[in-house]
Amino acid sequence: MIYLDNNATTQPTALVVEAMLPYLTECYFNASASTAAFTGADKPRLKAAAAMAKLLNAEEPDCFSFTSGATESNNWVFSSLARGRKDGRVLISTVEHASVDEPAAELARIGFEVIEVPVDVHGVVRLDAMRDALREDTALISIMAANNETGVLQPVAEIGRLIREVCPAALFHTDATQAVGKIPVDLQCEWQDVDLLSFSAHKFHGPKGVGGLYIRPGFELEPMILGGGQENGLRSGTTNTPALAGLASAASEAHDFNPQAMCALRDTFEALLQDELPEAVIHSRSVPRLPNTSYFSLPGMLGEQLIGALATSGIIVGTGAACSAGAIHSSKTLRSMGVAHDMAVGGLRVSLSRYSTIQELTEFIVQLTSATLTQRS
């Protein structure tokens, strides 16, 4: 199989699997037991926190609370706000993931004023609109670091500076699920104004079902899950030691990863694609993007049909368009960018991993060309 859908999930590395195994076999003990330091069950969490602090240059390992993944972390940010107050202004962008959109909609239902800040034609959050929407009493701003479809990098540092200028007390959250492990992140330098950051291990070659939330020292959130008091009382539930061992290993490997070669491979792919299929329109090509993501549309084609045809030839890619109740819906991201419907439904996303090769990408182009000929005939 040729797997080119790594923004959906990635393959755990051999080191990740190796790191997890002892905690599924001989060291299956409870990390919260008073004997944890003797059994070694306390190690995965300690290692995961230290590796995340190093990867994101956070102040200290204690800044991290571990969760089941970014969906939970994102929900936590919004539910914590709703526990402390019943109204206020919340800003998100028009291209957020559903795990931000839905909790924001829930806040709107209970009385918060939720504003969706638009993006420009390239999918970048408009700083002028952001400045207009910010008020002195804004409670929360949640803007993703990198878009899961286009790979567009949002101007997190600039947004942070704007927030500190207009409403210094507001909480600034970024859903960095697609950014962590793919681009350098520095929470004490460029991203020093970010207060809360969500991440997920399975997007950077770690296991599924584990991720976390960075909480800047000095900020307090309401607990996410009540119970036995794990995660410093913020997120109860028996510590998932195998998953945290995997996360620790994935974060360490990501720290040593250099995205340059991946970026060059993506650029070579896009050049080859345009040679073979000149009608392909590559979205957001002129703005900063993740090094692994290429999102393009083939006019007159249906992305859903193409991914089906490609899957039967053993090639897995993504599309933002979805078919439900007999109608084809284009991706919200492309709609927000003003991409016409017939173009947006022909969207395909190729997202590379550290293991992707030029041979795989060349084969993809061959199979895609043949699938477009079949669809046209």
Q: Give whole-number Cα distances, 171 to 137, 231, 290, 321, in Å.
A: 11, 21, 25, 32
Q: Does 144 bind ligand PMP (CB under 6 A)?
A: yes
Q: Pick the stretch among 78-86, 154-162, 171-179, 330-338 that binds ligand PMP (CB under 6 A).
A: 171-179
CB nearer ligand PMP, residue 69 or residue 181: 69
Q: Closest approach of Cβ 94 to ligand PMP, in Å?
A: 14
Give the residue from 226, 179, 223, 183 showing the smallest Cα distance to 70.
179
Contact 304, 375 (CB under 8 A): no
Contacts of 61 (CB under 8 A, 6+ apart): 46, 49, 50, 52, 53
Where do the H-state alpha helices sit in the chain?
A: 14-24, 36-39, 43-56, 70-84, 98-109, 127-133, 156-166, 241-255, 260-276, 303-312, 332-336, 341-344, 358-376
Q: Does 349 bind ligand PMP (CB under 6 A)?
A: no
- Are β-strands 138-142 and 89-93 bridged in parallel, bridged antiparallel, or unpaired? parallel
Per-residue x/- track, 189-218, ligand PMP (CB under 6 A):
-----------x----------x-------
Run of H or E including 91: strand 89-93
Residue with tokens 């007390």: 169
Sites for ligand PMP among residues 248-277 (CB under 6 A)? none
Q: Does 123 bind ligand PMP (CB under 6 A)?
A: no
**221: its two tokens:** 């959130």
Q: Does 174 bind ligand PMP (CB under 6 A)?
A: no
CB nearer ligand PMP, residue 97 or residue 216: 97
As a whole number of angstroms, the longest Cα–Cα distance in the chain is 68
Q: Does 178 bind ligand PMP (CB under 6 A)?
A: yes
CB nearer ligand PMP, residue 58 or residue 70: 70
Q: Closest approach of Cβ 147 to ligand PMP, in Å?
A: 7
DSSP codes of every residue in 200-231: EGGGGTS-TT-EEEEE-TT-----SB-SS-TT
Q: Closest approach of Cβ 85 to ligand PMP, in Å?
A: 25
Let me know if 63 is a catalytic residue.
no
CB nearer ligand PMP, residue 178 or residue 330: 178
CB nearer ligand PMP, residue 200 or residue 319: 200
Chain centroid, CA 241 distance in Å: 23
Q: Does 175 bind ligand PMP (CB under 6 A)?
A: yes
Sites for ligand PMP among residues 38-97 (CB under 6 A)? 69-71, 97
Point out which residues bind ligand PMP (CB under 6 A).
Answer: 69-71, 97, 99, 144, 148, 175, 177-178, 200, 211
Catalytically active residues, by annotation:
323
